[in-house]
Chain A
Amino acid sequence: SAVISQKPSRDICQRGTSLTIQCQVDSQVTMMFWYRQQPGQSLTLIATANQGSEATYESGFVIDKFPISRPNLTFSTLTVSNMSPEDSSIYLCSVTGYNEQFFGPGTRLTVL
Chain B
Amino acid sequence: AQSVTQPDIHITVSEGASLELRCNYSYGATPYLFWYVQSPGQGLQLLLKYFSGDTLVQGIKGFEAEFKRSQSSFNLRKPSVHWSDAAEYFCAVEPRYGSSNTGKLIFGQGTTLQVKP
A33 within 8 A of B: yes
| Contact between chains at B90 and A43 (CB < 8 Å) | yes
| Contact between chains at B110 and A42 (CB < 8 Å) | yes
Q: How many residues of A contact B (CB 8 A)?
A: 20
| Contact between chains at B94 and A101 (CB < 8 Å) | yes
| Contact between chains at B103 and A96 (CB < 8 Å) | yes
Task: Give chain B's interface residue range (CB within 8 Å of chain A).
Answer: 20 to 34
Q: Find chain A residues with CB under 8 A from B107 CB.
A: 42-44
CA distance A106 to B110 in the complex (A): 17
Q: Find chain B residues with CB under 8 A from A104 CB.
A: 43
**With A42-B109, A48-B103 in contact, do A103 and B49 touch (Cβ < 8 Å)?**
no
CA distance A103 to B51 in the complex (A): 19
**Which of chain A's residues 46-97 have a Cβ closer than 8 Å to chain B?**
48, 92, 94, 96
A111 within 8 A of B: no
Q: Find chain B residues with CB under 8 A from A101 CB.
A: 34, 46, 94, 103, 105
Q: Give the distance to chain A from B105, nearest Cβ to Cβ, in Å.
A: 6
- Interface set of B (CB-CB < 8 Å, partner A): 32, 34, 36, 42-44, 46, 49, 51, 90, 94, 101, 103-110
Q: List 12 A-B contacts (CB under 8 A).
A: A33-B103, A33-B105, A41-B110, A42-B110, A43-B107, A44-B107, A48-B104, A94-B105, A101-B94, A101-B103, A105-B42, A105-B43
- Interface set of A (CB-CB < 8 Å, partner B): 31, 33, 35, 41-45, 48, 92, 94, 96, 99-106
